[in-house]
Each structure stands twice: as structure tokens, then as C-alpha cells.
Structure 1
């Protein structure tokens, strides 16, 4: 990477994003993520208890629902571009609130499937609209920091929600009913907070990006965007595999104490929450393409460490895992920030919502495949799982340096001419 002057002239002390609505944007993102974190650890138990269906059936329904919404994402993108991301986020939050009311009030496989399809669609719409809203609200030279703030409040909200849920949720039908009602309330509050936001319209940065020759037309014809979306999806999938497989491998293959898993994910969540903004501020001086590539290759530090620890002593295993997780987390910060900057900078800005929804097709397929990859290899050849992730992460990183220079955003997120 070649360092250049940071895009803004406000000095290194200004880490937080500036602009009208930043407090409401952060608050809405935090409340939305808090509800997700509050629900996520108990999702399977929640659906099993309230639907009256076996766990295996619930798993199949959730997988089908996650895949069923993918063909509808291009329509979501067009809605974002036509009506604006804020309106889509409001509707998405209210739909998900209604789904939780439905989960609590109904039983059986048909209501479970229907409400989960709507819920999954709302989740994908939210993930496509949030980056578009951040870019729309950000002032000149501020979009990277608004995108970083969206990641900070997401990680802080999910972590806080999971912690509170672990302390308060009771493993019973009445306990899960309270969980469902609480999530419905959280999404209604999220919608109210989105109402407080007002769009700033097209910024000077947006106009400069369009003037720089961004490829117009369908997302699948934009080769630079496809490469970034593909690489980003592979790296995102690998992080989902880590969340699923690492606890099992640490406990069953490395024979480490149960608390090890908690410590590893506390390190990950804490660093993501505390360091994402300053790290993103530092990375603004570099081209996001090489940052994304290097961040992806950094994932391999954790994967190789986990694969090679079998013969080490218990103390060495523990220390090596803690260090590797810290390095992996720094790479995760780089990947999430550089990926968002590139994904929001490469498309024609009037079509940004459509492109971000198209990106969710990649993300959705990865999210569906992650549990399958983790479960199949953990059952047969556990060490091979980590070597597979190593190869995939390195290959994903290698996709990015092959982009032509004119398609790579300059530091600050604007494609070079």
C-alpha cells in the first residue's frame, strides 16, 4: 500500500463522523442491532418453542426462507433508488416488528415459513439500505467515517443485546414470548429513529464519483464491482464459518476450557467496537483495494494457527489463539471498512441502492453455505476446514489487486480518473 494524504483537512484528532443527523443515525443503528443481538443467540430455541416444530424442521424452514428472498432483492434495490434508503429502512423495521408479533401469536410450519420469509427480506433490505443511507447523509469526505460508524454501532448493539439476553431471557415459552415482544418493540423504536433522519441529497462526493466514469448499467455488467462483491462475500462467509466452527473446534479438537470461547469472542467484539473508528480513520490514507486484499490475507493468521495447534501445550494453544484472534479482528476491521468503501464508491450513485441489493445476493448465498461448510468439514476432516478458509481468503484478496487503476477508489472513496 502506498500512503497518501488523508482526504479531509480536519486533522487526525477528528475520528467521529460529522454532519447533520449523525446522532440519530448512530442511535437507530444501535437499537436495530441491539434487537438482533438480543434475539440471535436464542433464535433456534425461540422458533422451536413457539412454533411447536422439531429443531430439524425449523432449521430447514430457516434455510429455505433465507434463500427464497434472494430473487426479490433486485426489486428491493429499485425501491431504495426510487424512494430513498430511509423510507425502505422504516418499512423494513415495521415489517420485522410485525413478524415478531406473528411468531408469538401463531404456531405451525406455514406461519413460521411465511413470517421468516418476510423477516429475511426485511433483514436483507436493511443491510442494502444502511450503506446507501450513510453515503446519502455524509458530507464531503465523510462517507468512509459514516460507514465505519455503521459497523461500530452494529457490533456494539449486537454484543450488548446478546449480553442482556443471556442475563434476562428465560428458557420457557413465556420467556420466549417476552423475547419476541421485546424485539417487536425494538424494531418499532428503530423505525421511529429513522423517521428523525432527513436525507441531505446528492453530495459533492457523489457527483464527483459519477463524473469519474463509473460503469453505468446492470450490476452484473460492472466487472470491478462484481470482483469486489465476490471477494467481499467470500471473506464475509469465512467470518460466518468462524462464528459457527471455532467454538466447536476449540472445545472438541483443542480440548480447551469452555470459557476460552467466551474470551475469544469478547476480544473480537471489544476490538471491533473500540477500534473500528480510529482504524478506519487511519486507513483513509490508503487505497481501499490493497487494504481489502491485505485484510483478507490477514484472516489466514487465525486459520493457520488453529489448524496447527493440535500438538502444542494447553498454555501455548491459549496464548496463540488469543493473539491470532486479535490479528484476525484487525483484518476484519480492514475488510469491512474497505469493502464498504469500494462497494459504495464503484456503482453509479443514482443506482447505489440497486447495486447494494445486488451485493446482498452474494452475501445471502454465503450466509446459506457457511453452516453447511462448517458442519460437513468439522464432521469429517476438521483441520481441512481451516486450510480451506485460508485458501479462499487469500484467493479473495488476490481478486482485488487485479482491478484496473481507474476502477479503484482513491483514498476517501472516490474512483480515480
Structure 2
């Protein structure tokens, strides 16, 4: 990595951390704010959460081409400004239309920021350094979310709407800081991605049809949907409902479980990174599937076993901790793999396509898992045990589509990301 790449990467990671810090101030309290503080009702709060997902699904199909045509810097700056406007409007909103408009702006802006930042990280890294770069991004994002949520909890007061305005104002400022930092980044031309920097306004070759013809990327998107559906899509819906209904977990314990999840990610991230760098990515993802299978079995014991309430609570918290271990292994694996599969002119489109798959999983996951976790306890656990085992199977199948350099980048080896149309006749990893 050159000095210019290192300087740009530090700015990108700083903006990523600060924006996550701002988001952490509001995410845990959004439902309470809409339903109780603004007295708009639980149904409106549910619609607000749905609007976040819908807004993301509407803008992400257009995001990748914008990134590849104009570069990620103007996209991340524009998206951060939109998100800042949405956050500030949310803090001032007192009617249903205003709340929904604010949620749409905030959801759309936040969704676009992620693939744009991911593309900036790709441009400022090489295959040898990309794994650690994405691991650092995930580490800082979780650290920022945790610290922001902790401080926000000390500032918020349900009896004072002004305290919520302060939280949303802080979030808006952090997004504006991200926009300022993004605008100041001078992206170097990465020698491993020739032609990635847009030279003119010509539309990049390829598009959705080229992506759909890329068998490995299609399989990775399918795997990604299952990953996000079986984990992130259950955290605040199905698994929470299952814990309170089947395991008798107190609502306050849900906060402890989420804290355990974040703590494992922060503590384990750079420990498991050594494991990830030494093994094939497909096999690391397969191992995550097995770890999450154990997590769901432990959750099953918490709600369906006959132990004490203390044992059930410990098992439930352990479930979230095991999920965190798997997340720490995925962060330096999946995102770099998306980048290494992308042709040089379609990095933004590949990142946006994968972000779209993630949003779909996060929209479908709560809708399916919530009702099951609340009432169909045994089928719920069995379903997600099978989904987790499916992760392992899909990961091993994906490995057969990857070249050796894509499945296990060698730190000592310089490699050029494939340009033009995805190659189907490259020798797959053994």
C-alpha cells in the first residue's frame, strides 16, 4: 500500500467510525421516540421501520452505476448530506407525514453510504491489504455504534422530547462530518484495479446482465441473503420475540445480549483475522455456518430446555455472543470477496448489488422470524438451524467457483482484479 493510499484509508475509516457513532445515538430509541414521545402509536413506529427498508430498496439499484460513473466520493458526500437532513427532520417531526418523509431520507442516505464507502476502501487497498481494511471498518463501525448507544442512553429522557432532538442533531452532525471527510479524500489510482477511477462520463460496460451472468457473484449474493436473513434479520425481531416469549427473558436482558454481541466482535475481530487470512474464504464462511448452528441450538436450550431461569438467560446471552464471533469472521471475508469478484468497471455495482441483497434479507427476516419466534418456538429454532447448516453448504459450493487468488489471497502476491466481463473459464480453487 502506498503512502497516498494509507492516508486516504485513514480518512475513510475515520468517517466510517464517526457516522456509526452518530447512528448509535438514535437506533435503539427510534421506536420509543415515534410511538411514545411523539405519541404517534406503535403502528406508525412499525411503518417507519418499514420505510427505512423500502427507501433503501428503491435507491440501491441506481447507486452502483452512479458510483462507477462519477466515483464514490460525490456519492458518499451526497448520501451523507441526505441522511443528515433526514436525521434533523426526524428530531423535529411531530406528524405522521413528516416522520415518514424523515425516515425515507434517512433510510435512503444511510443505504447509499455503505456501498460508496466500501468502494472507496477497495480503491485504497490491494488484495493483500483488503481483508484487514474491511475488518477495521467493521470493528470501528461496531465500536462507534456501541459508544454512541451508551452515551445516547445517558442523554435520552422520554419525558423531554428535546432530549431526542439532541440525539438526532448529533447524528445529523456526524453525517455532515462524514460528508466533509469524504470530500477531502483524494483517492489514489490503485495499481491492482486499472481503470477503476472514472476518466470520463461514459457509462461503464457491463451492467445488471453482466452481473447476472457471473455465476460466482450470483452464488455469493444467494449466500449473502441467507447469512443476513439467518442472523441480522432476527436480532431485533424473531430472536427477541423468542427470548421473551419462550425463554422468559426480561426486556432489559435483550440489551445485555446485544452488548455481549458487540463486545465479542470488538474483542475477537483481530484475533480471528489471523485465522481468516490463513484459510480459504469459502471454508471460513462454512465454519461461520457451523458456529451459528451451535448458536441456534443454544437458543433452543434457552427456550425449550428445562433448566433454571438463570441458565436460560445465560444461554440466550451466549447465543448473541456466538453470533458476534461469526460476524467477526465474516467481516474480513465477504466484503473483500465481493470486491475481488468485481470487474474493474463494475466495483460500485457489485457492492451495491450485495448491499441490495442485504437489505432484502433485513426486510424479509423480521417479517418471517417475528411471528415464528413469538408463537412457533420449536419450528423457529429448527428452521434457523437448517438455514445455518445451509450457509456451510452454500459456502463450500461457492468455493468451487472461485479462483485460488479469490478464495485465498496471498499477502506476498500482487494480483490484478479481473477486468472486463467476468471470466468463467479460470481454474477454480480445489
> Which residue matches 2:229?
237
307-316 or 215-224: bigger deviation: 215-224
Q: How does 1:8-157 map to 2 (within 5 A)?
A: 19-48=6-35, 53-139=40-126, 141-157=128-144
Please say if 1:345 is aligned against 2:337: no
Q: 1:107 to 1:226 in 2, by over 3 A?
A: same
* Residues 2-52 of structure 1: per-residue CA shift (max 9 Å, x gap): xxxxxx9xxxxxxxxx82233322221111101111110011223346765
3-state DSSP of counterpart to 2:307: coil
Query: 1:49·1:173 contact (CA, 8 Å) conserved in 2?
Result: no
Q: Is the counterpart of residue 364 in structure 1 residue 359 in structure 2?
A: yes
Q: What's the CA shift string for 1:133-163, capped at 9, x where partnerless?
A: 1111114611111111110011001111111
Q: What is the match of residue 394 of structure 2?
A: 399
Q: How many residues are matched?
A: 395
For residues 355 and 184 of structure 2, the distance between their equivalents in structure 1, rounded to whole angstroms, comes to 26
Match in the other structure for 1:411? 408
Residue 383 of structure 2 is aligned with which of 364, 376, 388? 388
How far apart, CA to CA, are the structure 1 residues paired with 2:289 and 2:227? Answer: 7
Partner of 1:163: 150
- What is the aligned partner in structure 1 of residue 259 from structure 2? 266
Q: Which deviates more from structure 2 when the two are superposed, residues 131-140 or residues 142-151?
A: 131-140
- TM-score where L is the length of structure 1: 0.86
Q: Whole-Å Cα distance in 1 between the matches of residues 59 and 310 of structure 2?
A: 50
Match of 1:332 among 327, 342, 346: 327
SS in 2 for 1:42: helix
> 2-side partners of 1:364 and 1:81: how far apart?
21
Tell me, in whole angstroms, the C-alpha distance in 1 between the residues paired with 2:20 and 2:345.
27
Given candidates 222, 228, 250, the residue that maps to 2:214 is 222
Is 1:194 the counterpart of 2:182 in the alignment? yes
C-alpha RMSD of the superposition: 2.7
What TM-score do you get using the length of structure 2 for normalisation?
A: 0.83
Distance 1:266 1:315 in 2: 18
Looking at structure 2, the residues matched to 380 and 301 of structure 1 have their Cα atoms a distance apart, in angstroms, of 22
Alignment partners' CA distance in 2, 1:140 and 1:229: 20
Unpaired segments ≥5 residues, structure 1? 1-7, 9-17, 210-214
Does the 8 Å contact 2:301/2:312 carry over to 1?
no
Asked whether the 8 Å contact 2:243–2:249 carries over to 1, the reply is yes
2-side partners of 1:114 and 1:352: how far apart? 31
Q: Give the stretch that moved more between structures: 195-204 or 163-172.
A: 195-204
CA contact (8 A) 2:24 2:149 kept: yes
Q: Does 1:303 align with 2:296?
A: yes
2-structure distance, mates of 1:304, 1:62: 29
* Aligned-residue offset at 1:324: 4.7
SS at structure 2 position matched to 1:23: helix
The residue number in structure 1 matching 2:163 is 175
**CA displacement at 1:376 relative to structure 2:** 0.8
CA contact (8 A) 2:282 2:407 kept: no
Offset of 1:61 from its aligned partner?
Answer: 4.0
In the alignment, structure 2 segments of 5+ residues that lack a partner are 197-205, 418-425
**CA deviation vs aligned residue, 1:85-141 (integer Å, no higher than 9, x gap):** 222111111111111222234443333323322221111111212221111111461
Separation in structure 1 between the aligned mates of residue 144 and residue 127 of structure 2, nearest angstrom: 27
Shift of 1:80: 0.9
**Cα distance in 2 between the residues matched to 1:287 and 1:356:** 21
Mapped partners of 2:254, 2:45: distance in 1: 26
